[in-house]
C-alpha cells in the first residue's frame, strides 16, 4: 500500500502544530499560575485605605481590659464564662421582605423565636404566639442591639427586667430588638407586625446610638439611607439583579473573582477611590446605586461625617421628626400607645472602661458628641417628642457596659426602672405632638 507523497508533510505539520499548541498552553498556564501565586502573596499588603477611627482605639471584650471588666460584671474568674454572652450573640441574616434580621440562632445563652422575638427563660414559640394573638396587654419593645441585649443573657436584657416589674399588671413585653436596627428599621419591623394582624397595646422604642452612627455610614438621601449589613458584595453576583434569574449562578464570575490577580486589581482600583468621589445625598431613583461607593462610605464614615457634619445634623433632626410624626399617626390608626426613648450613649460615658483616651481623640468621636448634643437639645426644647434617658446611667460608677455600646445587667435593670413609670402613667407622643406642630 502506497501513501501519498504529501501525507508525511501534513503529519509533520500537525505534529508541530500540536507541539506548539501544547507549549503555548503550558507557557500561558505557567504565567497564569505565577501571576496568581505572586498576587496571592501581594494581597495582604494592599487593600482599601481605611483610616483609623474611634473604633480602632476602643477596648473590645476580647482584649485584656475587656476580659477583666467582664469578669467583674459577671462575677467569675473564668475568662470563657466572662465573654460567653458576647461570643454567643448573633450576627445578621437575610429576610424576604425586611431589610435584614438578627441571625435566627438558638444556643445556651441566646434564642431568637418567632417574629424575631428574643425568648426569655421558660418561653418558647408557642408562648410567644399566644401572646401575639390573645394578650390585650401586649407591649412591643423595639430598637437595636441594646434593646435586644447583645452581650448579655436572656435574663439580663432590658425587656426581661421590664417584664419582671410588670408581672402584677398582666402586661407582657416582647423583645423585638434587632442587631444594627435604627429607628427606620424598627418602624419597618413594627409595620410588618401590624400587617400580620398583631395588635400591641403599647409600643416602646429605644433609639439613638445606631441613628447617630449609621446615618454617617451612608451617603444616600435620608429616605434611602443604607444600613451596610443589609447587602453583600464579593459573593460572585449581587443577590438581587434586575432582569436576571436568581437561580442562574454565574460560575465564570465566581471563578474570576476568586483569583488573587483579579482581587489584587480590584484592590488597586478601590485605592484610587477618594472621599471627593462620593455623591452627596445620592437619589437612588435618579442617580442609581453604587455598591462600591456604599462600601467606601461605610469604612470611611469618620472622614465623611467630619466633612459633612452640618448636612448630617439636618438629616438627623428631619429624620427623627418625620418618623415620630409617622408613629403618632400610626398609633392613632391602630390604637396603641407609643413611647420613644433616647438612650444613653455608652461611647460618651466618661466611666465606660472600654473607651480609651485615645478613642476620645480619634476621628469620629467629635461628630458623635456633636450629634448627641443636637438631639438632646431638640428633645429638651420640644422639637422632638422623645423622652431623654441619656443621663440615666451617669449615677452608676462602674459595671454598666459590656463593651463600648451595650449595657450590663445592672444598667438594663436601672433603665427598666426609668422606663416603667412612663408606661404606667401613659404619656404618649400623640399627646405631646399636635398636628399643627
Q: Is residue 229 part of a domain?
A: no
Q: Is residue 318 part of a domain?
A: yes
Q: Is residue 225 part of a domain?
A: no
- Contact, 99 vs 188, CB < 8 A? yes
Q: What does the pLDDT read at residue 135?
A: 80
- Name which of 211, 225, 217, 179 is nearest 299 in CA terms: 217
- Contact, 331 vs 337, CB < 8 A? yes
- Name which of 140, 49, 48, 124 is nearest 338 in CA terms: 140
Q: Is residue 96 part of a domain?
A: yes
Q: Give the CA diameter of the chain.
A: 112
Q: What does the pLDDT read at residue 422?
A: 87
CATH of the domain at 387: 3.40.50.1110
Backbone angles phi, psi at 16, to 5 degrees: -65, -40
What are 263's three cell numbers? 482581587
pLDDT in tens, 385-434: 999 999 999 989 899 999 999 999 999 999 999 999 988 654 444 444 44
pLDDT in tens, 226-264: 877 766 544 444 444 445 544 566 677 778 777 888 877
Q: What does the pLDDT read at residue 430?
A: 45
- Name which of 212, 218, 186 is nearest 366 in CA terms: 212
Q: What does the pLDDT read at residue 6?
A: 63
Q: Is residue 286 part of a domain?
A: no
Confidence (pTM): 0.84
* Residue 135 CA from chain centroid, whole number: 31
- Name which of 286, 307, 417 is nearest 364 in CA terms: 307
Residues (pLDDT < 70) of the chain are: 1-9, 11, 44-51, 230-250, 269-271, 424-437
**CA 205/CA 431 separation, integer angstroms:** 17
**CA 389/CA 143 separation, integer angstroms:** 14
Q: Is residue 239 part of a domain?
A: no
Structural domain including 208 reads 54-216+308-432
Q: Is residue 104 part of a domain?
A: yes
* Residue 397 CA from chain centroid, whole number: 29
Q: Is residue 146 part of a domain?
A: yes
What's the structural domain count of the chain? 1
Amino acid at each position: 500500500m502506497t501513501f501519498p507523497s504529501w501525507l508525511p508533510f501534513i503529519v509533520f505539520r500537525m505534529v508541530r502544530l500540536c507541539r506548539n499548541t501544547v507549549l503555548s498552553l503550558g507557557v500561558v498556564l505557567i504565567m497564569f499560575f505565577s501571576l496568581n501565586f505572586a498576587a496571592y502573596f501581594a494581597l495582604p499588603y494592599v487593600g482599601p485605605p481605611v483610616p483609623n477611627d474611634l473604633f480602632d482605639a476602643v477596648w473590645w471584650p476580647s482584649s485584656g481590659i475587656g476580659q477583666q471588666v467582664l469578669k467583674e460584671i459577671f462575677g467569675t474568674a473564668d475568662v470563657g464564662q466572662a465573654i460567653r454572652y458576647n461570643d454567643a450573640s448573633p450576627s445578621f441574616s437575610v429576610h424576604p421582605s425586611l431589610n435584614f434580621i438578627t441571625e435566627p440562632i438558638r444556643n445556651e445563652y441566646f434564642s431568637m423565636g418567632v417574629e424575631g422575638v428574643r425568648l426569655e427563660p421558660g418561653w418558647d414559640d408557642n408562648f410567644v404566639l399566644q401572646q401575639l394573638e390573645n394578650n390585650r396587654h401586649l407591649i412591643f419593645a423595639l430598637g437595636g442591639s441594646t434593646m435586644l441585649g447583645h452581650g448579655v443573657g436572656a435574663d439580663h436584657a432590658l425587656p426581661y427586667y421590664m417584664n419582671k416589674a410588670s408581672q402584677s399588671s398582666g402586661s407582657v413585653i416582647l423583645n423585638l430588638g434587632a442587631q444594627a436596627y435604627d429607628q427606620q428599621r424598627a418602624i419597618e419591623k413594627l409595620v410588618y407586625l401590624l400587617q400580620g394582624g398583631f395588635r400591641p397595646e403599647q409600643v416602646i422604642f429605644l433609639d439613638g446610638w445606631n441613628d447617630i452612627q449609621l446615618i454617617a455610614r451612608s451617603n444616600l438621601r435620608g429616605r434611602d439611607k443604607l444600613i451596610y449589613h443589609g447587602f453583600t458584595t464579593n459573593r460572585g453576583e449581587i443577590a438581587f439583579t434586575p432582569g436576571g434569574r436568581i437561580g442562574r449562578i454565574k460560575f465564570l464570575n465566581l471563578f474570576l473573582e476568586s483569583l488573587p490577580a483579579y482581587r489584587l486589581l480590584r484592590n488597586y482600583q478601590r485605592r484610587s477611590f477618594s472621599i471627593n468621589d462620593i455623591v452627596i445625598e445620592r437619589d437612588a431613583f435618579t442617580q442609581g446605586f453604587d455598591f462600591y461607593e456604599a462600601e467606601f462610605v461605610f469604612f470611611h464614615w469618620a472622614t465623611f461625617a467630619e466633612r459633612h457634619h452640618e448636612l448630617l445634623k439636618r438629616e438627623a433632626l428631619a429624620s427623627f421628626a418625620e418618623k415620630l410624626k409617622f408613629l403618632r399617626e400610626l398609633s392613632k390608626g391602630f390604637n396603641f400607645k407609643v413611647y420613644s426613648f433616647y438612650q444613653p450613649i455608652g461611647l460618651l460615658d466618661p466611666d465606660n472602661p472600654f473607651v480609651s483616651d485615645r478613642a476620645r481623640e480619634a476621628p469620629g468621636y467629635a461628630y458623635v458628641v456633636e450629634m448627641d448634643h443636637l438631639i438632646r437639645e431638640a428633645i429638651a426644647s420640644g422639637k422632638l417628642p422623645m423622652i431623654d434617658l441619656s443621663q440615666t446611667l451617669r449615677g452608676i460608677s462602674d459595671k454598666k457596659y459590656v463593651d463600648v455600646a451595650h449595657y450590663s445587667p445592672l444598667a438594663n435593670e436601672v433603665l427598666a426602672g426609668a422606663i416603667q413609670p412612663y408606661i404606667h402613667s401613659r404619656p404618649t407622643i400623640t399627646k405631646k405632638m399636635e398636628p399643627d406642630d
